[in-house]
Structure 1
Amino acid sequence: MNDRKSVYLFYKKTDELEEKVQRVRELGRKYGFTMADSPEEANIIAAFGGDGTFLQAVQKTRFRDDALYIGINDGSFGFYTDFSTEDLERLELAMQTNMVEVLRYPTLEVTIDGDKSFHCLNELSVRSNIIKTLVMDVYVDALHLETFRGDGLLVSSPTGSTAYNKSLGGSIVDPKLPSMQLTEMASLNNNQYRTLGSSLVLSKERELRLSIVQDGNDHPIIGIDNEAMGIRHSRELSIRVSDKSVKTLRMKDNLFYNKLKRSFL
């Protein structure tokens, strides 16, 4: 981090957290870091909170590919948060040694009706905004794979594979593998209707298209990481693994599989 010294602190201001953030500010000044007033002025963006706060920081700062993101949890570590306000010694070690490394997490690029585009770091979910089965035609590249009927579909990045995707029975994917995963939400399978019935991992070279069948259900809603957006009357979503990555900082002794074991085993 020797060439990065301008830091923007992203957090929800509470009296309890403000006191802890102030200690981190003082520690940063000790090693020559300056505090930026806006994320545009910074080359380091530090998010204080859990994984949800980290995702918000990335979304609100528009996936800065010229900045380094750091997650500092207010308690235990998470998948995106390698540091904690309860362990300033570890944070100080990161400031003064080469015990840290930069990871590049792949992101997803989503385009709605060939027009509006946005990025996701964790996941994209598509479901009905009313109590009704959602029908979507699923295409991989130009091939029609299936017609899905059910509650909805989830497309996750490798880092997002440990979140909602895992709860739906999807696979956990190594974050160093640039890919995306399609997972079903309560699919309808019987003698009349049939879906794949398992998650599907797609390589970076693939394009996934979800075409919403307008059968009276014109109120779909999508989840973007931890935010929701209505896409009323929209017909098609195109999803790719983006060339844009999110650069994060972690300690070398905190590998993805350390996080996996700590979280689930």
Structure 2
Amino acid sequence: MKFKIVSKGDKRSNKIKSTIKQYLTDFDLEYCRQEPDLVISVGGDGTFLEAFHRYVHRLDQTAFIGVHTGHLGFYADWLPDEVEKLIIEIAKTPYQVVEYPLLEVIIRSKLDKNESRFLALNESTIKTLEGSVVMDVEIKGDHFETFRGDGLCISTPSGSTAYNKALGGGIIHPSLPSIQLTEMASINNRVFRTIGSPLILPKHHTCMLKPMNDRSLIITIDHYTKTYENVKSIQCRVAKEKIRFARFRPFPFWDRVRDSFVAEGDF
């Protein structure tokens, strides 16, 4: 089996990376940067997102697993004091694959027919520095509302525990292939009106966002941010691709939620 390790870059994470790499190569596993079967993230959720996007072109061939050394390890199954056990599991035990849904975002320009396609593990957000975001929201080709406010967040089920949760969105189990559209400070008065509630869309529903003015948009895909001009539309839906997690032991989603947000402890 070929493997690659992506480290947070701090001293502790790099030491764990070196340990895992040394022992796995001693077990005759091949360290491979280009075409790994298994990518091991050592750090926090930011490191895991970095690993995901680095190998986003190999999702059907690469599985991911995380070792938690950061402040919040929602995607990480293993702790630093379990590294020795993890090494033996990787070397000796076939892993089970658990798949989570992803968000597909397609950005189209008014100036040409080119489009940019992205996949997000957590979410995509749309904001502007030029006043309010004004967008026509279409669902399955039908006009739903005209949004006015600070912005919109479109999240995956696994990403529903991230920025979406901070915005008041619901937490969705990743076994449900869906996306969630959540408002940021919408304007609601006698003139303007939005639904004022997160919308959960199934995989066969496409959400189309169409800017109603010429303002530049700041669009994020997970932790990547870029400013776009002359945006014609932003299409969002459940992607046909999925992320594949390598599981050597059960780690139920609701246990993650409880341990991350409810259970007391030091992080």
Residue 22 of structure 1 and its aligned partner are, at CA, apart by 1.4
Q: How much is the aligned-residue C-alpha RMSD, in angstroms?
A: 1.9
Residue 195 of structure 1 and its aligned partner are, at CA, apart by 0.4
Q: In structure 2, what is the equivalent of residue 54 of structure 1? A: 48
Q: In structure 1, what is the equivalent of residue 69 of structure 2? A: 74
Q: In structure 1, what is the equivalent of residue 6 of structure 2? A: 10
Q: In structure 1, what is the equivalent of residue 200 of structure 2? A: 201
- Equivalent residue letter for 1:258: D
The 1:144/1:75 distance shift into structure 2, 3 A limit, reads closer
Question: Would you say the 8 A contact 1:64–1:246 is kept in 2?
Answer: no
Q: Using the alignment, how far apart are the partners of 1:64 and 1:84 within structure 2?
A: 26
Q: In structure 2, what is the equivalent of residue 92 of structure 1? A: 87
Q: Does 1:43 align with 2:40?
A: no
Q: Using the alignment, how far apart are the partners of 2:145 and 2:70 within structure 1?
A: 44
Q: Using the alignment, how far apart are the partners of 1:252 and 1:12 within structure 2?
A: 24
Q: Gapped runs of 5+ residues in structure 1?
A: none
Query: TM-score of the superposition, structure 2-length normalised?
Result: 0.89
Once the two structures are superposed, the pairs formed by residues 116-127 of structure 1 within 5 Å of their partners are: 116-127=116-127
- Equivalent residue letter for 2:152: L
Once the two structures are superposed, the pairs formed by residues 107-122 of structure 1 within 5 Å of their partners are: 107-113=102-108, 115-122=115-122
1:116-166 CA-partner distances (Å, limit 9, x unpaired): 211111101001133x11100000011100000000000000000000000
1:205-248 CA-partner distances (Å, limit 9, x unpaired): 0000000111x5x2111111111011111121011111101101
Once the two structures are superposed, the pairs formed by residues 190-229 of structure 1 within 5 Å of their partners are: 190-214=189-213, 216=214, 218-229=215-226
The secondary structure found in structure 2 opposite 1:72 is strand
* Stretch of structure 1 that moved more, 121-130 or 152-161: 121-130
- Would you identify which runs of 4 or more consecutive aligned residues in structure 1 move more than 4 Å? 96-100
Query: TM-score of the superposition, structure 1-length normalised?
Result: 0.90
The secondary structure found in structure 1 opposite 2:259 is helix
The 1:172/1:6 distance shift into structure 2, 3 A limit, reads same
Q: In structure 2, what is the equivalent of residue 250 of structure 1? A: 247
The 1:12/1:220 distance shift into structure 2, 3 A limit, reads same
Residue 31 of structure 1 and its aligned partner are, at CA, apart by 3.4
Q: Using the alignment, how far apart are the partners of 2:249 and 2:13 within structure 1?
A: 27
The secondary structure found in structure 2 opposite 1:83 is coil
Equivalent position to 2:259, from 256, 262, 265:
262
1:48-96 CA-partner distances (Å, limit 9, x unpaired): 1111111111112224221111112215772211122332244135326
Question: Would you say the 8 A contact 2:41–2:47 is kept in 1?
Answer: yes
